[in-house]
Amino acid sequence: MISFMRRLASYCSCCLNCGSFFVRDGLLCKRCDKSLQRLRTVAANESKPYAARALFEWNPGQSDLLSHLILSLKGPGHKKIWSFYAKRFAQTFAEAVPSGKKIYVIPAPAKKANSCDHAYLWAEALATSLGATLIRGLENVGSEGTKKQRRKDRGERALIELKATVNYTEGVSFSEGPLIVFADDILTTGATARAAHVALGGPPHFEVWVLAKRSLSCGASRDLL
């Protein structure tokens, strides 16, 4: 059913959730978009050593609407839709974004090196919305990039290893250090974000920006990701 709706939506630009032709920029109709807004997060997770900000709180099994949206945004394409949600993200967290500080947005590396997957499109859209600089600063180490994240259990996910491909701190003092934003579509265990933080040398100003923070309380739909 989900794949049918995804295919239908890509052909006729109708609402991903209910099939309505009165679709908005976010791939949903007005009514479904309103339902989606109830899943918006209000506070960032400010736990140390860095903050994690998510536009939505995703509890699989609780909302088919959000599940449909997230699954349909996987892979390349849907640039316009990522832009739409990036603008909403920027509006939601406008006050938390430091003004006057250089911001670099680094996408989670794609499985296929240098491809424009969903994480890249999300990072690109965030950078555009905030006037930040987008850089591909990370790559997967070894065979990790070819393994499907969803097939890993929590222990395996903790072994994710990333490598930095840029040195953005060269010639920049500690206090003036830029804000480094790691952008990904979903935050689940946080293992990828932690690997990014480590690979980038533990920058003092580091945040994780995702479309949705996924609860681990429901294991039934683990294979969805």
Q: From CA 5, how far away is CA 85, in angstroms rounded? A: 20
Q: From CA 8, how far away is CA 14, in angstroms rounded? A: 7
The site string for Zn ion over 22-61 (x = CB under 5 A, - otherwise) reads -------x--x-----------------------------
Interface stretch with Zn ion, choices 9-17, 82-90, 121-129, 200-208 (CB under 5 A): 9-17
200 makes contact with Zn ion (CB under 5 A): no
CB 160 within 8 A of CB 153: no
**Chosen residue from 6, 8, 10, 20 binding Zn ion by CB under 5 A:** 20
Interface stretch with Zn ion, choices 19-27, 50-58, 72-80, 195-203 (CB under 5 A): 19-27
CB 216 within 8 A of CB 210: no
15 makes contact with Zn ion (CB under 5 A): yes
Q: Is 159 helix (H, G, I), strand (E, B) or coil?
A: coil
**Closer to Zn ion by Cβ: residue 6 or 157:** 6
**Closer to Zn ion by Cβ: residue 15 or 195:** 15
Q: From the CB of 64, what's the least distance to Zn ion, in Å?
A: 12
Element (H, E) at 207: strand 206-214
**Closer to Zn ion by Cβ: residue 17 or 72:** 17
Order of all β-strands in the sheet with 51-58 = 51-58, 206-214, 179-187, 103-107, 133-134
**Chosen residue from 6, 8, 10, 18 binding Zn ion by CB under 5 A:** 18
192 makes contact with Zn ion (CB under 5 A): no
Give how many residues touch Zn ion by CB under 5 A. 6
**Closer to Zn ion by Cβ: residue 20 or 62:** 20
Q: From the CB of 67, what's the least distance to Zn ion, in Å?
A: 14
Q: From CA 220, how far away is CA 67, in angstroms rounded? A: 13
Q: From the CB of 23, what's the least distance to Zn ion, in Å?
A: 7
26 Ramachandran zone, left/alpha/beta (phi>0; psi -120 to 50): alpha
Q: Is 145 helix (H, G, I), strand (E, B) or coil?
A: helix
Q: At what angle do helices 2-12 and 64-72 cross, to 10 degrees?
A: 60
Q: From the CB of 33, what's the least distance to Zn ion, in Å?
A: 8
72 makes contact with Zn ion (CB under 5 A): no
17 makes contact with Zn ion (CB under 5 A): yes
Q: Which residues contact 115 (CB under 8 A, 6 or more apart)?
A: 76
What residue ranges bind Zn ion (CB under 5 A)? 15, 17-18, 20, 29, 32
